Structure 1
Amino acid sequence: MLRIDEVSRAYGQTQALSSLNLDVPAEARLGLLGPNGAGKTTLLSILACELAPTSGRVILEGHPVATQAGARQARRAIGFLPQKPGYVPSFTAQETVEYAAWLKGMARRERGPAARAMLDRVGLDAVRGRRMRALSDGMVQRVGLAAALVAQPRVLLLDEPTVGLDPAQRLQFRSLIAGLADVAVVLSTHLVEDVAVVASEVVVIDEGKVRFRGSPEELAKAGAVGAPGDSPIERGYMSVLAGATQRVDA
């Protein structure tokens, strides 16, 4: 479905990603874990075809994305919810999602019904006429999710989607993501509990490299004796970061 081959990305002298390989199969539920500064946001921006790699290539459905025109076309198949989704404060929730539909190239007659259907899907039909500036943080995130899904993408990329949400909002957002069908999901976070709930496979990235790939259960089993953490999966994650164990099948 979506794959990167030997992708590197540098910012001046800082190497954010280093010869990284990653595939996202159709309808995958992939959790991307890593500490702040590990390269997760850079990786998602490259997967979303919004940032070009310094070297390596992005491949969508067997076709390399090699030009700006190709990147624009690829973005129509990819939904991306950044950590802090941008919006026009004076827009309503409906207008915000319709604008996202326009950016994805949807026909005028399709935008309104598609936006309303997607807002209903994320539980916001009742506030679709409310201005974005009047919405809570949790509602803004759900509008962002509706905008990312409105064009029915084949891949959905989520960058730290629950950061800043209260516990109830976080649980609600996780439930929404877990209930999605017919779309591959990549959830990037540093919150291990989000991955434990949503993902069927986990990738741990640190210093721009993949350190582990396996199921949540396998990550839990990777925990070293005495490793810090409040749960087996947290102890496995901390052990991988500490270099106590490593399993990469990508």
Structure 2
Amino acid sequence: MPQQLAISTRGLTKQFERQIAVNDVDLQVQAGEVYGLIGPNGAGKTTLIRMLATAEEPTVGEIYINGEPLVRDRDNPNLKRQLGYLPDDFPLYDDLTVWDYLDYFARLYRLTEPKRSRRLKEVLELVQLTHKRQSLIATLSRGMKQRLSLARTIIHEPVLLLLDEPVSGLDPIARVQFREIIKVLQEAGMTILISSHVLSDLEELCTSVGIMELGFLVESASLENLYQRLSRQQIVVATMGNLGALKAELNNCPQVEGIEVLADAQSLCVHFSGDVQESAALLRSLITAGIPLTDFHRTQESLESIFLKMGHQQTS
């Protein structure tokens, strides 16, 4: 197996009685990537992550972590030391303090003093909970609890992090804080696989994404490649004047493939097939036509929009 792959699976399948939850998945994640796994509930994301985390045995198929095979019916202690797994429902012990909780898990991973205390201080600083070290877990906000769960997941310095829906249920500020920590971990050289329904979070974090549908990995590509293939170029245009006159002028341009009125009713989203020079020519033509523009900028279709479009293509 190539050593640069942090995760590689071949024909990975999991069947529960008559239901196939994960179906013949060949997944490859390069070392140092943040790989986003997206798909609706029931698509098989959690089962796939559980198999990678050694929490679930595959029915058939092979898993390699950093080139090392995960052997079925074995304890795989060396592999487990390399993994950090954050499930979406791991319990926290409300009657422990933050420090005692992390200390408990550090001992389970056989961290000894003085390294143990040093590591606890490091992870508390990383997840911004140093000021809460003596607080009972019961008193923490949901965002703080999730950051504490992440601290527990990385206490033993794993090289591969498996995060199952880590931002679900968090408010926007807590999501931003969590995202920033993930970026720091990636910069430190960790490989991270993260599943989420919040596609805007993955868009900002990920280098690659995999899309799961009904147990199949239907798409797996770098974000850049996905945008190149599936994202339509868009131009947002706004005017102080009449929208009808703006639309009429836009429709004269052969590269304009569609026009949508945006929520503020003064802006249009233009689906545009041209390049940078052609968009500059369009801007010139609008100004020459005397359209009072207040905005004109190129943008890219969002990951959410690409995902919805792909889902529609597969069901239609």
Fold similarity call, TM over 0.5: yes
Q: Do structure 1's residue 212 and structure 2's residue 219 form an aligned pair?
A: yes
- The offset of 1:223, in angstroms, is 5.1
Quote the residue 2:151 is aligned against: 146
Q: Do structure 1's residue 79 and structure 2's residue 149 form an aligned pair?
A: no
Q: Do structure 1's residue 183 and structure 2's residue 253 form an aligned pair?
A: no
- The offset of 1:178, in angstroms, is 1.5
SS in 2 for 1:172: helix
Quote the residue 1:131 is aligned against: 136
- The offset of 1:135, in angstroms, is 0.8
Judge which range, 201-210 or 95-104, deviates more. 95-104
User: Which amino acid in 2 is paired with 1:184?
Assistant: T
User: Which amino acid in 2 is paired with 1:237?
Assistant: F
- The offset of 1:4, in angstroms, is 1.7
Candidates 157, 165, 181, aligned match of 1:160: 165
- The offset of 1:206, in angstroms, is 1.1
Judge which range, 213-222 or 94-103, deviates more. 213-222
SS in 1 for 2:313: coil
SS in 1 for 2:76: helix
Preserved contact between residue 76 and residue 105 of structure 1 (Cα < 8 Å)? no
Task: Report % sequence identity.
Answer: 30
User: Which amino acid in 1 is paired with 2:104?
Assistant: Y
- The offset of 1:217, in angstroms, is 3.9
Q: Call closer, same or farther: CA 1:53–1:176 in 2, change over 3 Å.
A: same
Greater Cα radius of gyration, structure 1 or 2: 2
- The offset of 1:56, in angstroms, is 0.8
Q: Which runs of 5+ in 2 are unaligned?
A: 1-5, 233-256, 259-268, 270-300
Q: Call closer, same or farther: CA 1:106–1:5 in 2, change over 3 Å.
A: farther
Q: Do structure 1's residue 194 and structure 2's residue 174 form an aligned pair?
A: no
Larger RCO (CA within 8 A; separation ≥ 6): 1
SS in 2 for 1:75: helix
Q: Call closer, same or farther: CA 1:195–1:233 in 2, change over 3 Å.
A: same
Candidates 222, 225, 232, aligned match of 2:230: 222
Quote the residue 1:51 is aligned against: 56
Preserved contact between residue 223 and residue 238 of structure 1 (Cα < 8 Å)? no
CA distance in 1, matches of 2:314, 2:224: 17
CA distance in 2, matches of 1:152, 1:171: 23
Q: Which runs of 5+ in 1 are unaligned?
A: 246-250
CA distance in 1, matches of 2:75, 2:28: 19
User: Which amino acid in 2 is paired with 1:115?
Assistant: L
Preserved contact between residue 168 and residue 197 of structure 2 (Cα < 8 Å)? no
Quote the residue 1:241 is aligned against: 311
Q: Call closer, same or farther: CA 1:99–1:69 in 2, change over 3 Å.
A: farther
Indicate the RMSD between aligned Cα atoms, in angstroms.
2.2
User: Which amino acid in 2 is paired with 1:152?
Assistant: E
CA distance in 2, matches of 1:94, 1:3: 36
- The offset of 1:37, in angstroms, is 0.9
Preserved contact between residue 38 and residue 209 of structure 2 (Cα < 8 Å)? yes
User: Which amino acid in 2 is paired with 1:174?
Assistant: R
| Superposition TM-score, scaled by structure 2 size | 0.71
User: Which amino acid in 2 is paired with 1:185?
Assistant: I
After TM superposition, list the pairs within 5 Å mapping 1:87-126 onto structure 2: 87-126=92-131
User: Which amino acid in 1 is paired with 2:215?
Assistant: G
SS in 1 for 2:226: helix
CA-to-partner distance for each residue in 1:178-233, whole Å, 9 max, x for gaps? 2222100111111110110100111111111111122334434525899xxx9532
CA distance in 2, matches of 1:63, 1:233: 33
Q: How many residues align?
A: 242
- The offset of 1:168, in angstroms, is 0.8
Quote the residue 2:174 is aligned against: 169
Preserved contact between residue 57 and residue 72 of structure 2 (Cα < 8 Å)? no
| Superposition TM-score, scaled by structure 1 size | 0.89
- The offset of 1:72, in angstroms, is 3.4
Q: Do structure 1's residue 21 and structure 2's residue 26 form an aligned pair?
A: yes
Quote the residue 1:232 is aligned against: 302
SS in 1 for 2:95: coil
- The offset of 1:45, in angstroms, is 0.8
